[in-house]
Copies of this chain bind each other. A is one copy, B any other.
Amino acid sequence: MHLSPEPFSIIDTDIHEAFTSLQDLVPYLQEPWKGLIAREAWRGFAQPFAYWSTGGLSRADAKPEKGPAGSDYALMSKQLLDLYDITYPILTGYFYPAAMQMQFEFAAALACAYNDWLIEHWLDRDPRLRGSIHVAPQDPQAAVREIERLAEHPQMIQVMLPIAQRAYGDPFYHPIFEAAQRHHLVIAMHHTIFVQGALGMGRYYIERHMIIPQSFMSELISLVVNGVFDLFPDLHFALLEGGFSWLPHLMWRFEREYKSLHQEIPWVKRNPAQHIRERVKFSTQPTEDLSAQNWLRLMDMMGSDQMLMFASDYPHFDFDSPQESIPHDLPERVRQRIFFENANDLYHFEQVR
């Protein structure tokens, strides 16, 4: 079954594949890590809150017979890839060793194992799929080695830096940016279950879900003030699932702050808003209920119609359908930018016609 396809290709920039269980990684691990997982010395991440939606974190209908939502290629094909005719589905994972707060060598080993599992179980299986290189940024040198190991894989398009409580502008992480730039890889960021807001995690899941965008704001600010855009002029960023309607605010405020306080950060040579406008793209999911007029106003306020990229967030509960999330009364040209061109400008899947 196909749902009335768009007259242009669709790039889905945020799809969460999953393993059946942590045990799936055992074949890809060396000792001592192999044994730790095999004997369940560590049981994986657990979010410190309950999901209230019917299917928990995920769409209730996305759960396969065996394993969690997102772990079954056939079901994902049926519900997403084939149904909506996604030309370039980008896998972003949701098991993020970056979130480990201890035992960094273990985190680095898990990232390698996950990448090998991802290649064998997903990328090798469907040439449409694109993958994210997972790393443990808490050990930047190990992260660089992992980037070097996989950068030439034709389906690996970006390095994933998950957002927990690390501010990635910090020079500690710059070797990761250097390696990504050298290999023409995008830097993707996605929040984790450990993300917080300005006043912590909050008392409710809805509260925590409301504050997720703050962590993206803080990462953007951190990247700017630490000069990452100036130091790595060929590096581009994909900020996934953090929203975008706060961007006019952040860019305006940054312009004002830069005017009065730029002397504190003389290594930042350009208006921060311009850095962001040219170097960062944002996935649309979870879209708010915006009229076409407000989509256009926001893009005008951001000063660009080239910053937004469609994402479905399959299989999570707040999935955005390509059919419904982007208003049909937006100009076709803008829809094409959101569904294809902006992401293609970032990832260079196809030559510009």
Using CB atoms and an 8 Å cutoff, list the residues of chain A in contact with chain B: 52-53, 165-167, 169-170, 195-200, 202-207, 209-211, 213-215, 217-219, 221-222, 225-226, 243, 245-246, 248-250, 252-258, 260-265, 286, 288-290, 294, 297, 301, 317-318
- Bound-state Cα–Cα, A52 to B262, Å: 9
7 contacts between A and B (CB under 8 A): A53-B261, A165-B200, A199-B218, A202-B225, A206-B225, A206-B261, A211-B218
- Bound-state Cα–Cα, A18 to B195, Å: 37
- Bound-state Cα–Cα, A7 to B275, Å: 42
Q: How far is the CB of A171 from chain B (nearest CB, A)?
A: 9
Give the nearest-CB partner of A244 in chain B.
B249
Q: How far is the CB of A54 from chain B (nearest CB, A)?
A: 10
Q: Which residues of B contact A207 (CB under 8 A)?
A: 221-222, 225
Give the nearest-CB partner of A165 in chain B.
B199
Contacting residue for A256 out of B53, B257, B261, B286, CB 8 A: B286
- Bound-state Cα–Cα, A219 to B199, Å: 8
Docked-complex contact B263 and A52, CB < 8 angstroms:
yes
Give the nearest-CB partner of A246 in chain B.
B249
Q: How far is the CB of A275 from chain B (nearest CB, A)?
A: 13
Copies of chain A in the complex = 2
Q: Which residues of B contact A317 (CB under 8 A)?
A: 260
Docked-complex contact A210 and B260, CB < 8 angstroms:
no
Q: Which residues of B contact A214 (CB under 8 A)?
A: 197-198, 214, 217-218
Contacting residue for A197 out of B218, B258, B261, CB 8 A: B218
Docked-complex contact B288 and A297, CB < 8 angstroms:
no
Q: Given A199-B165, A253-B288, are A221 and B211 also a contact pair (CB < 8 Å)?
A: yes
- Bound-state Cα–Cα, A243 to B257, Å: 13
Q: Which residues of B contact A249 (CB under 8 A)?
A: 213, 243, 245-246, 249, 288
A209-B261, A243-B249 given; name 17 further pairs at CB < 8 Å.
A52-B261, A52-B263, A53-B261, A165-B199, A169-B203, A197-B217, A198-B211, A198-B218, A205-B261, A210-B257, A246-B250, A248-B294, A249-B249, A249-B288, A255-B288, A294-B301, A297-B297
Docked-complex contact A213 and B253, CB < 8 angstroms:
yes
Q: Which residues of B contact A169 (CB under 8 A)?
A: 203
Give the nearest-CB partner of A219 in chain B.
B199
Q: Which residues of B contact A297 (CB under 8 A)?
A: 297, 301
Q: Given A205-B264, A206-B264, A218-B214, are A289 and B195 also a contact pair (CB < 8 Å)?
A: no
Q: How far is the CB of A269 from chain B (nearest CB, A)?
A: 15
Q: Which residues of B contact A288 (CB under 8 A)?
A: 249, 252-253, 255-256
Q: Which residues of B contact A205 (CB under 8 A)?
A: 261, 264
Docked-complex contact A289 and B256, CB < 8 angstroms:
yes
Docked-complex contact A289 and B209, CB < 8 angstroms:
no
Contacting residue for A199 out of B52, B215, B257, CB 8 A: B215
- Bound-state Cα–Cα, A264 to B207, Å: 10
Q: How far is the CB of A39 from chain B (nearest CB, A)?
A: 35
Q: How far is the CB of A319 from chain B (nearest CB, A)?
A: 11
Docked-complex contact A252 and B198, CB < 8 angstroms:
no
Docked-complex contact A215 and B198, CB < 8 angstroms:
yes
Contacting residue for A222 out of B199, B253, B254, CB 8 A: B199
- Bound-state Cα–Cα, A226 to B206, Å: 11
